[in-house]
Amino acid sequence: RIAQNKWRRISELESGNVQRMVANFKRIKGVVDDEGLQRYRAVRVEGLHELFRAGEDLREVLPRAVEANTDELKRLLEYEGSDLDTALGSFSLDCLQKSVEIANTGLLDISDDHAHETSLLADCHYRLAQFCYDGLEKQPLGETLSHERHLITSLLASMQFGSKPARQLFPVLLQLPNLQDGTLHRCFIDASSLVPEWMFLRWIPQLLSYVDFFQESFLESVLLRLAASYPMALYYPAKFAHGECTKRFPERTMGSFACRLMRVLEFPRLDRFVQELSQVVVP
């Protein structure tokens, strides 16, 4: 039934007929609410994702269909206001959050025996993160905190369960206004603590670019874990960034985080080798 409704959804999106799209939205919602599906996690998750896509299709079409009758849609959404876009956006977020909850039900570990379940959960978290990321530009300035929080927790959770697309999207987190001003520091620290260190290896230059070596950093835990697990990957970029800071501000004192990081990356022989090599060429 989900596959049939997916085919209908695609066909009706091309036609742009709002009434038929709403009818299909209703059909998909009926399938998702069917009690007979309660024990089939993957099917329920796919149904919620299809319902999410149907809602997003309506968000795309409704602004161009100003004369369309939306009473049935409002009834399905249990919404009485006039801003249907906001209502559909909240409904989409709810669908994705429910899919995460369902995918997470009964998952006790992330061993190889549960590879399918962890892949499903990673995908659910990533879809939620992508939705929040796409929605940031639609949010009024100064009202993005909720979306940013969901983006951080969902993207890092997806990385925790091995998502490659989530790993690719990671650098956008570092640019979030509420993370840069400190509001979401604790949220990032807690969520990133569960992500395997190797997931951050590709983004070492980006991580270091957001570090102020003269004060504490919300990236301290990630960088110290990287330094402990992959010291050679972090050694030169961290030493270089640290050296540039001391050159630019020789009068300032390094913070305790910088001192801890440099101690972990202390390799006298390698330091001597790099120092001698730098006399001839940039290492």
Alpha carbon 93 to chain centroid, angstroms: 13
Q: CB within 8 A of 275, min separation 6: which ones?
A: none
**Cα end-to-end span (Å), the chain:** 60
Per-residue confidence (pLDDT) for residue 108, from 0 to 100: 45
C-alpha 135/C-alpha 38 separation (Å) is 30
- The single-letter DSSP state of residue 14 is H
Domain ranges of the chain: 196-283
Per-residue confidence (pLDDT) for residue 20, from 0 to 100: 83
Q: What is the pLDDT of residues 215-247, one digit of tens each?
A: 899 999 999 999 999 999 999 899 989 888 888
Q: What is the pLDDT of residues 38-49, one digit of tens each?
A: 677 788 888 899
Nearest to 242 by CA among 258, 230, 255: 258
Q: Answer whether 157's CB lies under 8 Å from 125's CB.
A: yes
User: Could you tell me what percent of the chain has a pLDDT over 90?
Assistant: 46
pLDDT at 66 over 70: no
Q: pTM of the prediction? A: 0.85
Specify the higher pLDDT residue, 217 or 5: 217
Residue type at position 94? D
CA distances (Å), origin 221, targets 78, 110, 190, 195, 207: 44, 23, 10, 11, 12
Mean pLDDT of the chain: 86
Q: CB within 8 A of 62, min separation 6: which ones?
A: 18, 68, 70, 84, 85, 88
Per-residue confidence (pLDDT) for residue 59, from 0 to 100: 87
Tokens of 199: 């997931």
Alpha carbon 130 to chain centroid, angstroms: 6
Per-residue confidence (pLDDT) for residue 162, from 0 to 100: 94
Per-residue confidence (pLDDT) for residue 123, from 0 to 100: 94
Residue 162, phi-psi category: left (phi > 0), alpha (psi -120 to 50), beta (remainder): left
